[in-house]
Chains A and B, each alone.
Chain A
């Protein structure tokens, strides 16, 4: 009898543990899987320091002469909400430590890399650049 109860309790604890873990795992797995994919696409070892540099690098737009960087919309402090430079709409913080929804969906990350690199840098980012930025963002 007593053993049965213990088993049930253990499986309950196990399940609760799993579901808590899932939230964190989603983030880790989305980032890990993407990093692996970027590796297969030719990226070398990712480097968060290079990622940070790229994140903050200012690029002058050829057509408009505007100065643009990832910081333009996401602000210098990744824990704070940003503001869309073109529309004024509020953007939730980028740091996964304050916004658990961040970096949990591969497709979404890829979509925004595509959009934002094109607008900010005038071209899409290379797998190496994406890997570096992702490594930088994931640690915030």
Chain B
């Protein structure tokens, strides 16, 4: 049996495969609030690759086309029976079970992308689907996004086991073949090299690189003293009197951070404001009150206001943002000694860690524990 090498996987298919691996791993590692901006970039690349693959499944070279590897289910069943008995026949392209695995992985990937976009749009208010549904949907999308990601990770695990088994069974390095594109063949099989399609692969890489640079332009081009804020929130209401009177001793907390009844209580009890007597006249108080109640947390203009609002039991009227359930939960990992550090100065000093506290946004990616050379504390 004479064997020779044959190009099975064209370049765009290889770029797709390894690009998908990288973007999935990157998105997984960059999950969570702190790196949301980069997580979303990985997600967009992941989504773009999947959409490209759908097109390439129709227009690509022979082994990349769905028609070449999606086999009828009885055939898949036959193959699986043989495979469990270690007698699986060798296939140049995807084997019948592998073909369906490709479809399943792609569907999971597409669903992850869509639930991701929905979570971004509904929970965070960003991206193309920003605000298409009320925030009460956010938890559902977020949970599905996570569950689907775990499902895909499990499928990837299965895929790896299958690739390993098949590699051993047929004594060929399948992962390497996906890298080089070549597989060994016996001359009996009437098969031809597929076209490499280098131009398509280059265009694919170019689009992804260009998009990544555009996405990250803020980090590259940003100058000036203020740090770069990757996400900017919605335009929130502003009020000069509020900034002046309530910003004199501390950050003028945006009204969206506490419900109406809390502002009412704070303004009513102004002569005992955390043992300060604010001594504001009735006219000033009523103007401040008018502004506060129109911008209160119940309007849920930001993710923070929505979540703070939801974490307050109806019977409670907190006078501190820092005593609300959501706030406490979000900051529970911060060690006590950090709060008393001189450059932070206390829980109420949001500006120390939230670069966009003044705007009232509290976006993901705009928070950092300030680096302190003296005791080298850095928790994130």
* Interface membership of B175, Cβ < 8 A: no
Within 51-78 of A, Cβ neighbours of B (below 8 Å) are at: none
- The one of B251, B274, B278, B342 in contact with A115, judged by C-beta atoms closer than 8 angstroms, is B278
Q: Is the CB of A119 within 8 A of B276?
A: yes
* Interface membership of B32, Cβ < 8 A: no
Q: Is the CB of A115 within 8 A of B276?
A: yes
- Chain B residues whose CB sits within 8 angstroms of the CB of A84 once the complex forms: 249-250
B contacts with A, residue count (CB < 8 A): 16
Residue of A nearest to B275 (CB): A119
Within the assembled complex, what's the spacing in Å between the Cα atoms of A89 and B276? Answer: 15
Q: Is the CB of B277 within 8 A of A87?
A: no
* Interface membership of A118, Cβ < 8 A: yes
* Interface membership of A114, Cβ < 8 A: yes
Within 90-127 of A, Cβ neighbours of B (below 8 Å) are at: 111, 114-115, 118-119
- The one of B250, B277, B344 in contact with A114, judged by C-beta atoms closer than 8 angstroms, is B277
- Chain A residues whose CB sits within 8 angstroms of the CB of B279 once the complex forms: 111, 114-115
- The one of A88, A115, A118, A119 in contact with B345, judged by C-beta atoms closer than 8 angstroms, is A88
Q: Is the CB of B277 within 8 A of A115?
A: yes
* Interface membership of A86, Cβ < 8 A: yes
A contacts with B, residue count (CB < 8 A): 10
Q: Is the CB of B277 within 8 A of A118?
A: yes
Q: Mark B322-351, 1 if CB is under 8 A from A, else 0.
A: 000000000000000000001011101100
Q: Is the CB of B345 within 8 A of A87?
A: yes
Q: Is the CB of B278 within 8 A of A88?
A: no
Residue of B nearest to A88 (CB): B345
Select the residue from B251, B275, B349 with max chain A CB neighbours within 10 A. B275
Q: Is the CB of A87 within 8 A of B349?
A: yes
- Chain A residues whose CB sits within 8 angstroms of the CB of B277 once the complex forms: 114-115, 118-119
Within 50-82 of B, Cβ neighbours of A (below 8 Å) are at: none
Residue of A nearest to B251 (CB): A89
Q: Mark B265-294, 1 if CB is under 8 A from A, else 0.
A: 000000000111111100000000000000
Within the assembled complex, what's the spacing in Å between the Cα atoms of A118 and B280? Answer: 14
CB distance from A74 to the nearest CB of B (A): 13
Within the assembled complex, what's the spacing in Å between the Cα atoms of A84 and B251? Answer: 12
Within the assembled complex, what's the spacing in Å between the Cα atoms of A87 and B279? Answer: 18
Within the assembled complex, what's the spacing in Å between the Cα atoms of A137 and B277? Answer: 22
- Chain B residues whose CB sits within 8 angstroms of the CB of A119 once the complex forms: 275-277
- The one of B249, B275, B278, B342 in contact with A89, judged by C-beta atoms closer than 8 angstroms, is B249
- The one of B278, B280, B342, B346 in contact with A87, judged by C-beta atoms closer than 8 angstroms, is B346
Within the assembled complex, what's the spacing in Å between the Cα atoms of A84 and B275? Answer: 14
Residue of A nearest to B273 (CB): A115
Within the assembled complex, what's the spacing in Å between the Cα atoms of A118 and B279? Answer: 11
Residue of B nearest to A110 (CB): B279
- Chain B residues whose CB sits within 8 angstroms of the CB of A111 once the complex forms: 279-280
CB distance from A119 to the nearest CB of B (A): 6
Q: Mark B171-208, 1 if CB is under 8 A from A, else 0.
A: 00000000000000000000000000000000000000
4 extra A-B contacts, CB within 8 A, seeds A115-B276, A119-B275: A86-B276, A88-B345, A115-B277, A118-B277
CB<8 Å pairs between A and B, sample of 30: A84-B249, A84-B250, A86-B249, A86-B274, A86-B276, A87-B249, A87-B250, A87-B346, A87-B348, A87-B349, A88-B344, A88-B345, A88-B346, A88-B349, A89-B250, A89-B251, A89-B349, A111-B279, A111-B280, A114-B277, A114-B279, A115-B276, A115-B277, A115-B278, A115-B279, A118-B276, A118-B277, A119-B275, A119-B276, A119-B277
